[in-house]
Copies of this chain bind each other. A is one copy, B any other.
Amino acid sequence: MLKISELSAKTGLTAHTLRFYEKHGLIQASTRSESGYRYYNAADIRRVEFVKTARSIGFSLEDINQLLSIRVDKLSHSCQEVTEITRNKLDEVNGKINELQSMQQTLQILLDSCCGGPERAIHCSIMEALDKDLFRNQDNESALQASGRVK
A residues contacting B by CB (< 8 A) are 46, 49-50, 52-54, 56-58, 67, 70-71, 74-83, 86-87, 89-90, 93-94, 96-97, 100-101, 103-104, 106-108, 110-111, 114-122, 124, 126-127, 130-131, 133-135
B122 touches A82 (CB 8 A): no
Interface of A is mostly: helix
Closest to A57 in B: B106
Closest to A101 in B: B97
B78 touches A119 (CB 8 A): yes
B53 touches A130 (CB 8 A): yes
Q: Given the known A-B contacts A56-B135, A74-B120, A79-B124, are A93 and B100 also in contact in the complex, defined by CB atoms under 8 Å?
A: yes
Contact partners of A107 in chain B: CB under 8 A: 57-58, 86, 89-90, 93
Bound CA span A57–B103, Å:
6
A83 touches B135 (CB 8 A): no
B106 touches A53 (CB 8 A): no
Bound CA span A53–B53, Å:
39
Contact partners of A96 in chain B: CB under 8 A: 96, 100
Closest to A99 in B: B58
Contact partners of A100 in chain B: CB under 8 A: 58, 93, 96-97, 100
Bound CA span A134–B50, Å:
10
B135 touches A78 (CB 8 A): no
